[in-house]
Amino acid sequence: MLQGGNGGRDSFSSKFGVIAAAAGSAIGLGNIWRFPYVAGENGGGAFLLIYLLFVAAIGIPVMMSEFVIGRSAQLNPVGAFKKIAPGKKWHLIGILGVVSAFIILAFYTVVAGWTLEYLVQSVKWMLLSNKIGFSEMDNEAVRGFFSNHYETFVSGIWRPIIWFVVMMFFTGYIVISGVKNGIEKYAKILMPILLVLLLILVIRSVTLDGARDGLVFLFKPDFSTIKEAPVKIIIEALGQAFFSLSIGMGTLITYGSYIRKKENLANTAVSVAVADTFIAVIAGVAIFPAVFAFGIDPGEGPELVYITLPVIFQSMAGGLIWAFMFFLLLCFAAITSTISVLEVIVAYFSEQLNMSRRKATILAMISVGFLGIICTVSSEVFSLFNASPDLMLPLGGFFIVVFIGWFLSKEKSRSELSSNGAYRTRFYRLFMFLVKFVAPLAIAFLFALGVYSKVISLFPGIG
């Protein structure tokens, strides 16, 4: 997918390639695993509404800003700021991004490993029971089986570590051999299949008895839920929007550096954000009706999806086959995201520290491997890492929009967004208004609130 062309540097070969790669990064476990459980813990409808608002008013402008920085500099996040703003401290944003990449890659790859476990389990059950469905087990039994399985699996030592290492290995392999060659080809076929499978799950889920309550929960905002913990809900909606869109840590600066000059950046950003948000909402529509129909607690936490999905499969003819296909595609969706995170570290190591791509990848894998293994053995570290994007990504995003809104010349950002005049930029004033005022003020305010509430929760005496 990457071809020579940008001054000898690789670039995506087609408009579709760019969107596939960036959407591949954005769409992943964040949509299908994290979004439903975070929405479930935070009351459903009201959370969704705030989330959508953040995607539109903050997420899309940050994404466009990252593309502008990456494409104009043609470098990794640290190198990009050094080049555009020499002698200033802006490149620290890039460093923050690389640090975030280590943390996110560690816990994310662990969760991706759970997907492999479920994939293997569905094959094992098919072989052992000689069946393609769970027919003789009732709902309670399947639910009990999975939640017990989840508990023993996640708290066990070796299996989560092995699956983590396997996922890490796949990711590293693809990054070393050039992310660029395979992804476009696979993404083109597999992403649409994932969507079709999700839609099949939606049909099954919304036709269950008692499904309506799930739809009401997801789509009817109940603002009284916000009153209980407003700061937590709003911060988590902002963090989830950043996490899901892959913004705030330079992933899309890195991908932006591979985008050809003639590509329309604003268009790409909007397409990616819409696709990503659509998949998250569809995942919610697949999960919540089943959650209510089967009496699962929507606030169950990170295991929500891993407990609910099997129960949906159980109620379908040929359930194990569906389960197998679904977890396989989920794995794929996870890998197109993990490679984008690893690419941030590898681009930094190879371009700034002059390492070969191979050496950079191996070094990154070993260090992330170390962090990831800590995540598998300590649920506290896992939770801490999993919560960190909520503050780290908006912080990165804040500086990115401030850079575009207040530092980079308007001629530069405008010519990047219009591809040197090839596209109309009627949205430019709105964009500038968002990156200059709306996004920085909103993020700064929420960030301060978030830090304050974290401090209070750690040291209740102060409040």
At residue 63, φ and ψ (nearest 5 deg) are: -65, -45
The DSSP line for 186-221 is HHHHHHHHHHHHHHHHHHHHHTSTTHHHHHHHHHS-
Least Cβ distance, residue 29 to ligand PFF (angstroms): 5
Stretch that binds ligand PFF, among 14-22, 29-37, 86-94, 213-221 (CB under 6 A): 29-37
Q: Quick one: 25 or 419, whose CB is closer to ligand PFF?
A: 25
Nearest Cα neighbor of 443 from 239, 275, 224 is 239
d(CA 231, CA 41): 14
Q: Which residues pair with 2 in a beta bridge?
A: 12
Quote the least distance from Cβ 313 to ligand PFF, whole Å: 22
Among 17, 24, 30, 394, binds ligand PFF (CB under 6 A): 30
**Which residue is closest to ligand PFF by CB?**
30
**Toward ligand PFF, which CB reaches closer, 251 or 350?**
251
Candidate segments 25-33, 205-213, 375-383, 447-455, binder of ligand PFF by CB under 6 A: 25-33
* DSSP-derived 3-state class of residue 10: strand
Please identify, among the stretches 22-30, 78-86, 88-96, 319-327, the one whose residues bind ligand PFF according to the rule CB under 6 A.
22-30
- Smallest distance from the beta carbon of 32 to ligand PFF, in angstroms? 8
* Whether the Cβ atoms of residue 396 and residue 439 lie closer than 8 Å to each other: no
- Contact criterion met (CB below 8 Å) for 214 and 290: yes
- How far apart CA 146 and CA 309 sit, in angstroms, is 10
# of chain residues touching ligand PFF (CB under 6 A): 15
> Minimal CA–CA distance to 198: which of 72, 294, 95, 312?
312
Q: Which letter does DSSP use for residue 56 in this model?
A: I
Pick between residue 97 and residue 214 the one whose CB is nearest to ligand PFF: 97
Nearest residue (CB) to ligand PFF, 104 versus 446: 104
The angle that helices 379-387 and 357-377 make with each other, rounded to 10 degrees, is 120
Max Cα distance, the chain (Å): 69
Provide the minimum distance between the beta carbon of 27 and ligand PFF in the complex, in angstroms, as a whole number: 6
Q: Which is nearer to ligand PFF, 25 or 268 (CB)?
A: 25
Give Cβ neighbours of residue 95 (< 8 Å, ≥ 6 apart).
78
Return the number of the residue (31 or 65) whose C-beta is nearest ligand PFF.
31
CB of 320 to ligand PFF, least distance (A): 25
User: Computed from CA positions of residues 329, 334, 337, 339, in that sequence, does the dihedral angle turn out positive or negative?
Assistant: negative
Query: Quick one: 2 or 103, whose CB is closer to ligand PFF?
Result: 103
For ligand PFF, the binding residues in 335-354 under the rule CB under 6 A are 337, 340-341
Q: Which C-beta is closer to ligand PFF: that of 111 or that of 266?
A: 111
Amino acid at 248: G
For tokens 């170390």, what's the residue?
Answer: 370
Taking the complex as a whole, the smallest distance from the CB of residue 316 to ligand PFF amounts, in Å, to 25
Q: Minimum CB separation from ligand PFF for residue 429, in Å?
A: 29
Chain residues 47-106 in contact with ligand PFF, contact rule CB under 6 A: 104
Question: Which residue in the set 25, 257, 268, 361 belongs to the binding site for ligand PFF (CB under 6 A)?
Answer: 25
How many angstroms separate the CA atoms of 361 and 148, rounded? 36
**Which 245-274 positions form the footprint of ligand PFF (CB under 6 A)?**
246, 249, 251
- For the CA atoms of 70, 73, 79, 84, the dihedral, rounded to the nearest 10 degrees, stands at -120
Cα separation, 403 vs 410, in Å, equals: 11
Contacts of 87 (CB under 8 A, 6+ apart): none
Which one of the spans 63-71, 119-127, 244-252, 283-291 is the region binding ligand PFF (CB under 6 A)?
Answer: 244-252
Q: Which is nearer to ligand PFF, 125 or 382 (CB)?
A: 382
- Contact between 277 and ligand PFF per CB under 6 A: no
Min CB(101)–ligand PFF separation in Å: 7
Residues that bind ligand PFF (CB under 6 A): 25-26, 28-31, 104, 243-244, 246, 249, 251, 337, 340-341
